[in-house]
Chains A and B, each alone.
Chain A
């Protein structure tokens, strides 16, 4: 059979409709809720499964690390998404700025989520908390360990520090918190000092920094708390995690910098009731326990205990500055990082 444009078109139409048929039809099921997620599926899927078991409501997800806010914004009032799930406060901030969220007023949520971790108007809610920790080599750095983020700029740690890219959300948030507390000039000096102490060019994720310590490339790293748990749960990575001690910085002053993962209801939501049920479920004891046990994050819900590992680190003081105050300085923090050439 000769290849003809008509045949071509028919074949194309067939291929496309085949693809469409492959797509889960769950999106049009009666009881469902649609989620755009910046968080990774292997963490949230087990929670959604439990939710579906408990309520019969199907959860459909799109996961991506970038572009979901833009997608929501372009799709406008017809967007199929009911919920935006974010991996850090930066995503929430971008979503608020794009004006794609609607407020939720729920007694359940107000009871489950402490007021410092939710928007006063109910536009977003924190779900989990992570501490930005300093970890140090168990064997090689036994004395004179850093106790504050500020200490990382001390020349005595020259060539000893590893971090991920200074432009990553978690690092930008930390720098923004330093700006919020000490002003841009001090923050600039600090960041410059940390840069001078770097053992290698910033690279990899937080986990890779601990690996670098276990391999002797450096002695100090800055990581999010849950990475420790994740590594201890992995056979191969246990040795990395066991090579470091955990330090909660700034216990004598402002407290350890925290970042939240959060959730918000979209303006376009068509399954509003189901969506609110899911948001409430995520802040409730069952989901919070999974967050705590599977991902070793601090549950936002005070009635749920952290995992045994996280509890073993003990109580600590956290930086209670409102997240919005830190977020305000993100742009400045990002520019500062370029100015000191942190990643170069």
Chain B
């Protein structure tokens, strides 16, 4: 699985530094078209297919932007005058807080497990990924339940100190902006950990040794060499974290933190102004494009730091002594404890006490639905990811770059808004077919796609394509273009080359993509609610129905199952990390 990394060569290193733009000089579109006439035809087939798929994937986004042109009334004077500053400020504080927290936890734990030997290291190696399986809204419910006045923590404190009322003592409130920041850090840091860890593993030891021989201190080696070298990967992790933070509604709503997303829903539902809501969604998109732009420019400056994998050598880990070993163990244990063990423990407790109420046909069926949908979306996202990244490799035109970039933006749109964006083109398509069929055949076809699982799988695919594409594309980029050239010179078609050369080499990246999309789909809630067919429940919708009514006990078994099913891919993912260093560029190329 680690083969692709070994095929790296100088040419790729330089070309990769252009940030996914015109990558392979041998393939430059400026080449005389007449000279390659037959091949050109095949190429354009791929390009057309990719552009078509990208356009379809972009439809929901365009619907949202289209809606933004038709607000019920102009919301901005009112928003400017009243709540906009609060929304923006809360959003920024939330994002910075979550980014800082995930950065510190993610990179520090990644550094510890890659460079040091301490008790539990090999366990933490994969256990640090566990919180990835816990949805943010679930962790928010769990900690509110634990830390509120009537929860076990405060009850215990009261019985110790003989307090009676909430006004008798101070206890930090969980349903606040800092509370929301902490909840999100706990479940989102694995993104940073995953990427930072892979980047640290890839770093050549020779550089570290050279630095050491020059007398550079350990701190300086971390901050002046290792971190800057890992920066592109870490920045990708952080941008995923920030996008996830931006589109979160469940947690901020539950914690009453008024962010832009909360304002969006308020404008849409409270003021009955979907167009105004779409304008806020568009504003969020702009925000994200700026983020992606920053990420790309940061990568552009990193060109000289691309490690040469052929010179890769596994660094030996330093064994930590007593005190620092304990500190390292504790530091790695805390995120796992708070992000996974405690929530899973609480949910298990509830599951046991409400077991008889919950274990029924509904439970079994919603589990099946969740798994079916998530698998479908994972497959679709991987296929589209391969199509887009291979077409871009064959024919890296500007059009292609732009459409692929837009196609990855779905990740930043809040779920329910994306759902409306899916409904509009689907219903328009269905109704157009129906009109045609009625006119020419006298048969009404009704709604073919709207309100089916297809709409759901599509929505999931649009939403999570960025992650699938990023992972696949970075694997694809590691394959030397010489291999394409060699295969081409043997007279093989691009499709044959993809099947025989690329796909076997990028299988690892495809697996990562499928797993990440699968886990995210299991957790997806708002789009599922709006788009689902009749009588259709998933695990996430069941959790929501109970938990939004403060019936956390009944929801526990569903939440627990989301976590457990999510664990399978997480474990597979961590096994893969251990066996391959090829993951380093997982989702590096988001929005490329």
On A, residues with C-beta under 8 Å from B are 2-5, 8-9, 11-12, 15-16, 18-20, 22-24, 26-27, 34, 40-42, 60-68, 70-71, 74-80, 90, 93-94, 97, 165, 167-169, 172, 200-205, 207-208, 211-212, 214-217, 234, 330-331, 334-335, 338-339, 341, 343-344
Chain B interface, >50% SS class:
helix
Would you call B427 an interface residue if the criterion is a C-beta within 8 Å of the partner chain's C-beta atoms?
A: yes
CB-CB nearest in chain B for A218: B166
**Inter-subunit contact B376/A16 (CB<8 Å):** yes
Of the A-B pairs whose beta carbons lie under 8 Å apart in the complex, a sample of 17, sorted by A's number, is A2-B500, A8-B379, A16-B453, A41-B545, A42-B545, A62-B451, A66-B268, A67-B416, A70-B530, A71-B450, A74-B450, A80-B534, A200-B173, A204-B175, A216-B167, A330-B272, A344-B258
CB-CB nearest in chain B for A79: B447
**Inter-subunit contact B545/A40 (CB<8 Å):** yes
Bound: A214/B272 CA distance, A: 35
User: What residues on A are CB-neighbors of B369 within 8 Å?
Assistant: 19, 22
Would you call B55 an interface residue if the criterion is a C-beta within 8 Å of the partner chain's C-beta atoms?
A: no
User: What residues on B are CB-neighbors of A9 within 8 Å?
Assistant: 383
**Inter-subunit contact B149/A71 (CB<8 Å):** no
CB-CB nearest in chain B for A23: B533
Q: B460 CB to closest chain A CB, in angstroms? A: 11
**Inter-subunit contact A338/B545 (CB<8 Å):** no
**Inter-subunit contact B150/A211 (CB<8 Å):** yes
B166, B372, B431, B529: the one contacting A216 at CB < 8 Å is: B166
Q: B72 CB to closest chain A CB, in angstroms? A: 9
CB-CB nearest in chain A for B83: A338
CB-CB nearest in chain B for A97: B272
**Inter-subunit contact A74/B427 (CB<8 Å):** yes
**Inter-subunit contact B431/A339 (CB<8 Å):** no
Bound: A9/B256 CA distance, A: 43
Of the listed residues A68, A202, A203, A344, the one surrounded by the most CB atoms of chain B closer than 10 A to its CB is A203
User: What residues on A are CB-neighbors of B268 within 8 Å?
Assistant: 66
Q: Which 10 A-B pairs have the closest CB atoms?
A: A216-B165, A203-B256, A60-B534, A67-B530, A215-B149, A338-B82, A74-B427, A19-B453, A15-B376, A64-B529
**Inter-subunit contact A23/B536 (CB<8 Å):** yes
B255, B256, B372, B446: the one contacting A78 at CB < 8 Å is: B446
**Inter-subunit contact A5/B499 (CB<8 Å):** yes
Q: In residues 473-510 of chain B, which contact A (Cβ within 8 Å)? A: 495, 498-500, 503-504, 507, 510
**Inter-subunit contact B256/A204 (CB<8 Å):** yes
User: What residues on A are CB-neighbors of B173 within 8 Å?
Assistant: 200
State whether A15 and B549 are in contact (beta carbons under 8 Å apart), knowing that A70-B274, A74-B424, A216-B164 are contacts in the complex: no
Q: B358 CB to closest chain A CB, in angstroms? A: 13
**Inter-subunit contact B256/A202 (CB<8 Å):** yes
Q: A237 CB to closest chain B CB, in angstroms? A: 8
Bound: A76/B175 CA distance, A: 41
User: What residues on A are CB-neighbors of B419 within 8 Å?
Assistant: 67
A12, A26, A80, A214: the one contacting B446 at CB < 8 Å is: A80
Q: B180 CB to closest chain A CB, in angstroms? A: 11
**Inter-subunit contact A80/B451 (CB<8 Å):** yes
A20, A63, A207, A341: the one contacting B452 at CB < 8 Å is: A20
**Inter-subunit contact B256/A343 (CB<8 Å):** yes
State whether A16 and B454 are in contact (beta carbons under 8 Å apart), knowing that A61-B534, A67-B529, A217-B149 are contacts in the complex: yes
CB-CB nearest in chain B for A217: B166
**Inter-subunit contact B534/A26 (CB<8 Å):** yes
List 18 extra interface pairs beyond A5-B383, A201-B176, CB under 8 A: A11-B379, A16-B376, A19-B369, A20-B454, A23-B453, A23-B533, A41-B545, A62-B533, A66-B529, A67-B419, A75-B430, A165-B256, A169-B270, A203-B175, A203-B255, A204-B550, A215-B149, A335-B82
**Inter-subunit contact A167/B82 (CB<8 Å):** no
Of the listed residues B372, B387, B549, the one surrounded by the most CB atoms of chain A closer than 10 A to its CB is B372
Would you call B420 an interface residue if the criterion is a C-beta within 8 Å of the partner chain's C-beta atoms?
A: yes
Bound: A272/B38 CA distance, A: 59
**Inter-subunit contact A4/B499 (CB<8 Å):** yes
User: What residues on B are CB-neighbors of A22 within 8 Å?
Assistant: 365, 368-369, 372, 453
User: What residues on A are CB-neighbors of B551 within 8 Å?
Assistant: 234
Q: B386 CB to closest chain A CB, in angstroms? A: 7
Would you call B373 an interface residue if the criterion is a C-beta within 8 Å of the partner chain's C-beta atoms?
A: yes
CB-CB nearest in chain B for A67: B530
**Inter-subunit contact A64/B530 (CB<8 Å):** yes
Would you call B294 an interface residue if the criterion is a C-beta within 8 Å of the partner chain's C-beta atoms?
A: no
**Inter-subunit contact B428/A74 (CB<8 Å):** yes
CB-CB nearest in chain A for B150: A215
Would you call B229 an interface residue if the criterion is a C-beta within 8 Å of the partner chain's C-beta atoms?
A: no
A68, A77, A205: the one contacting B431 at CB < 8 Å is: A77
Would you call B457 an interface residue if the criterion is a C-beta within 8 Å of the partner chain's C-beta atoms?
A: yes
Bound: A215/B154 CA distance, A: 11
One digit per residue, 1 when the CB lies within 8 angstroms of any chain A CB and 0 when it does not, for chain B 369-411 equals 1001101100110110011000000000000000000000000
Would you call B221 an interface residue if the criterion is a C-beta within 8 Å of the partner chain's C-beta atoms?
A: no
Q: A37 CB to closest chain B CB, in angstroms? A: 10
Would you call B265 an interface residue if the criterion is a C-beta within 8 Å of the partner chain's C-beta atoms?
A: yes
Of the listed residues B164, B373, B379, the one surrounded by the most CB atoms of chain A closer than 10 A to its CB is B379
Would you call B535 an interface residue if the criterion is a C-beta within 8 Å of the partner chain's C-beta atoms?
A: yes
**Inter-subunit contact A94/B536 (CB<8 Å):** no
Bound: A48/B84 CA distance, A: 43
